[in-house]
Amino acid sequence: MKKNNSALYFIISAACLLLSACGTKQQPEESLQQTTTQQTDAENVTQEEIEEEDTSEITTPSKEEVFNMRETVLEGMSDEEIERLTENIKIANLRMESAYLNDHIFDKLSDKDSLYWNYFDQKGDIQVGEKNGTPIMIYNRFDAANFINLIQDMQKSVHNEMLAADLQQLIDLTSMAAETHEMEYANKIYKILHDLDYFLLRYGIEDVGKYTKDGGVVSKYYGVLIVYGAAPDTATEIR
């Protein structure tokens, strides 16, 4: 596998692969939801590919708590900055969620030499597999370094230290994922994106749940956000 040494956060279609450009308008939410979460029944998804921590002791934030926390952490940001942050995190989460539910991405990333790590390592035309002796090529718009730059740029508009810290987690974990090819880093990136999207910047149970066949995915809370009191989950902890 060919690696890009200059690459340091979505596969990542994970977030890196299919994340939209900064400030670019996306397709309508309903259409987008129907092409991601709705296409897979969460009850049929195997969990063998992903290392899940016990979330039985985690209290899921209520709708009121989500709305109050959102108001707190977005204070001082312009409407344009909020829209940009919300949209980019949403798209990153949905793309990575689709890769998790439909492509068993974490199982593939468990192999450090998997061609799927090219999503992190390279930009442009990359090989992600082989079929009948023919390389499977796709165009990768964002590698890890590009994704990190995007998060850092959005982080500049954030005034709340806790939200800035959660974005920093994405930066650190993405850097370590690209550097080490450890699946656990990609797994943690997904969980942070999931909680940021469904339990902070949006309220997934209502905003997204109506578009899904099963509410198990959008109602699941991993409890990884610093804004709700989680301990910083820094990249160095996996070493």
Q: How confident is the model over 82-94, as pLDDT tens digits?
A: 999 999 999 999 9
Q: What is the mean pLDDT of residues 190-207?
A: 93
Render pLDDT for 138-197 as a digit per residue (tens, 0 to 9): 888 888 999 999 999 999 999 999 999 999 999 999 999 999 999 999 999 999 999 999
Higher-confidence position of 75 and 211: 75
The helix or strand, by DSSP H or E, that contains position 134, with its residue range, turns out to be strand 134-140
For residue 19, give every residue at least 6 positions away whose Cβ sits within 8 Å of its Cβ, in sequence order, or none.
Answer: 10, 12, 88, 91, 92, 95, 141, 142, 147, 150
Predicted local distance difference test score (pLDDT) of residue 29:
41
Q: CA–CA distance from 158 to each of 67, 141, 151, 166, 228 (Å)?
A: 17, 25, 11, 11, 16
Between 3 and 221, the higher pLDDT residue? 221
Average pLDDT for residues 12-30, to the nearest whole number?
41
pLDDT at 138: 86
What HEC string does 79-133 produce? Answer: HHHHHHHHHHHHHHHHHHHHHHHHHCHHHHHCCCCCHHHHHHHCCEEEEEEEECC
Give dist(CA 160, CA 232) in Å, integer.
Answer: 15
pLDDT surpasses 60 at 133: yes
Residue 7 has pLDDT above 60, yes or no: no
C-alpha dihedral (80, 28, 25, 13), degrees to nearest 10: 110
| pLDDT at residue 20, rounded to an integer | 40
Judge contact between 10 and 193, C-beta under 8 A.
yes
Asked if residue 46 has pLDDT above 70, the reply is: no
Q: What is the pLDDT of residue 230?
A: 93
Average predicted confidence (pLDDT) for the chain: 79
* φ/ψ (deg, to 5) at 147: -65, -40
pLDDT-derived band of residue 232, with 50, 70 and 90 as boundaries? confident
pLDDT band with cut points at 50, 70 and 90 for residue 213: low
- Assign 234 a pLDDT band (cuts: 50, 70, 90): low
User: Using CA atoms, how far apart are residues 16 and 92, in angstroms rounded to an integer?
Assistant: 7
